Chain A
């Protein structure tokens, strides 16, 4: 029986993985060959999806991207024993994309069957929780603090300090909430982790619950990820069955359970207080802070709200010790960041690496430039609220502080490449339009400012009083940045200002030329 891996990852499915599985099964049956197909997560080499891997005595050999019409030829080429074929990429672990990474959060993603507790444990799963139970709650929090882990959702707040605040807040109930409302364009790491190694997130949540003395965890997942919901729900059920969740977690006497909740298409619910409102069944309107969710969060109780990547990294930190993680990275950006490389890109995918790698290395060397083959003009880093970075800043090292110093942010680690056909005035307009569509409406700078922003950019586009309107737009951006209640209105000016600063020529096109486009 030959083991074949075909990813269940939503990106692989979008490129035909489900149809491919049916085709392989049919072809194998017709040829009388016995195969066992495992649905793994994606290795992150998304340009190769669906990537089919075959287990051979020498290791796992990959073929990709495989279409159903290639299946017969693959059997003819003897792919079940790793035979040569134009789609072969050789041993997957030896691929340069894999070898250049430092996979910590994503160590198991693509490697194991995501729903198999046995495989999870065989690859180190469960060791973090076992150590936490030994250390006790206070020392577990201390370990997280010492690792230097910062929230991977974008704000970069130290995770250990957040946990300690919740643990110290007097209350009869405390909650663990995972923010899986990954709405930023160009990001998909949360999705890939929840599909490829959901048990690591579950284990991280159990450890957090134990550390802060909470018994209930919620995962708030966006509805745009139907595949993720299916896989994660199945993982929760597998964990319950195996005694990881329930009244007696792994025989420790500690009680903890997790519930998956699906959002309903509101981008602003990725903001933590809006997310909590939504979980409570209300409109996703942002709350004013203070009180912090750590003091008064879900249903008014002290609540840890962590991003999927932060929580999914916790088991490894506990397993290997704080120092191991703290030794990676640069400055105050410790550990690794799963980069998501997307947009007009030749080799798009997930690439986990230590902080500090220069932006240009990521774009040119790792991602291979654009898919269109034209020169890169801009990279939007950190989603719709992130700045457009020009080629002249490609020596910028990827860390929180270096980006902040250039009025940019790394956010959730997404990079979207644009070639030289991009119209930066249009992208700035879209930034404002998106903010107008998704604003929760509570504060005026975001609600009204975004609409006025669209109108002002339209005036510039039509060539009306260009200089005066650019000044007005800058002033508006300033007001939104400093007057908005949350990051939606507060950061929406970043793409606009960066487009103005780095690509001023796009705002000074003669009106006729713009009209002709």
Chain B
């Protein structure tokens, strides 16, 4: 899966450099770092600020603004469950709360074995197949508790 590589300053600088010819390269760089390492640590923020010629505070502001970028590594797999209105119309909120309670997690937390992080997402555009979810970027429609249990079992394998 994506984001599994251990963090490496040299490799991070290579990634930053490879994007410097783009106009407004910050988001493409951050996505590439997430893709490679699964998170954006402080040293990456420092290197990016230097390359983009902005302050570290400003760079930190960008990283922290977006839900997709995080400073600490997540679980080995990421499950995003839709909480938006369309999914709620099919009982997604109740189902998600029961699922989280079963795993003893809150939104955004990772199972203690590091297998799965569960995040909320606000619409996946699969609204005729509500409730919907994304597991490691793969879409799933008409999600029921059985599907969610299978996802957990698969993630722990």
Show the binding face of A for B, using Cβ within 8 Å. 10-11, 13-15, 46-47, 49, 182-188, 191, 223-227, 259, 261-267, 278-285, 299, 340-345, 348-349, 371, 380, 383-384, 414, 416-419, 422, 427, 430, 434, 437-438, 440
Give every chain A residue within 8 A of B112 (Cβ-Cβ).
Answer: none
> Could you say which of B10-18, B96-104, B137-145, B148-156 contacts chain A?
B137-145
B68 within 8 A of A: yes
A344:B62 contact, CB within 8 angstroms: no
A493 to chain B, nearest CB (A): 16
B66:A284 contact, CB within 8 angstroms: yes
Give every chain B residue within 8 A of A345 (Cβ-Cβ).
Answer: 128
Give every chain A residue within 8 A of B26 (Cβ-Cβ).
Answer: 281-282
B125 within 8 A of A: yes
Show the binding face of B for A, using Cβ within 8 Å. 22-28, 30-31, 52, 61-62, 65-69, 80, 84-90, 121-130, 132, 134, 137-142
Partner of B122, one of A285, A340, A434: A434
Quick one: given A264-B30, A278-B27, A281-B27, are A10 and B89 in contact (CB under 8 Å)?
no
Smallest Cβ-Cβ distance to B26: which chain A residue: A281
A342:B30 contact, CB within 8 angstroms: no
Partner of B125, one of A187, A348, A371: A187
B17 to chain A, nearest CB (A): 16
B66:A187 contact, CB within 8 angstroms: no
A64 to chain B, nearest CB (A): 13
A343:B130 contact, CB within 8 angstroms: yes
Quick one: given A185-B127, A186-B85, A348-B128, are A266 and B31 in contact (CB under 8 Å)?
no
Smallest Cβ-Cβ distance to B127: which chain A residue: A342
B69:A264 contact, CB within 8 angstroms: yes
- Bound CA–CA A186/B134 (angstroms): 17
> Secondary structure at chain A's binding surface: helix, strand, loop or mixed?
mixed
A244 to chain B, nearest CB (A): 22
A416 to chain B, nearest CB (A): 5
B28 to chain A, nearest CB (A): 7
B141:A264 contact, CB within 8 angstroms: no
A224:B123 contact, CB within 8 angstroms: yes
Smallest Cβ-Cβ distance to A371: which chain B residue: B90
B126:A281 contact, CB within 8 angstroms: no
A34 to chain B, nearest CB (A): 30
- Bound CA–CA A341/B125 (angstroms): 11
B96 to chain A, nearest CB (A): 13
Can you report 14 residue pairs joining A to B where beta carbons are below 8 Å apart?
A15-B142, A185-B127, A186-B127, A188-B127, A188-B128, A263-B66, A266-B65, A279-B27, A281-B25, A284-B66, A343-B130, A344-B89, A348-B129, A416-B127
- Bound CA–CA A226/B125 (angstroms): 11
B118 to chain A, nearest CB (A): 15
Give every chain A residue within 8 A of B65 (Cβ-Cβ).
Answer: 266, 283-285, 440
Partner of A343, one of B66, B67, B127, B142: B127
A281:B66 contact, CB within 8 angstroms: no
B68:A10 contact, CB within 8 angstroms: no
Extra A-B contacts (19), CB below 8 Å, given A183-B122, A280-B23, A345-B128:
A10-B126, A11-B128, A15-B129, A191-B125, A223-B68, A224-B124, A224-B134, A226-B134, A226-B137, A263-B66, A281-B62, A282-B26, A342-B86, A348-B127, A380-B85, A416-B86, A416-B89, A417-B89, A430-B85
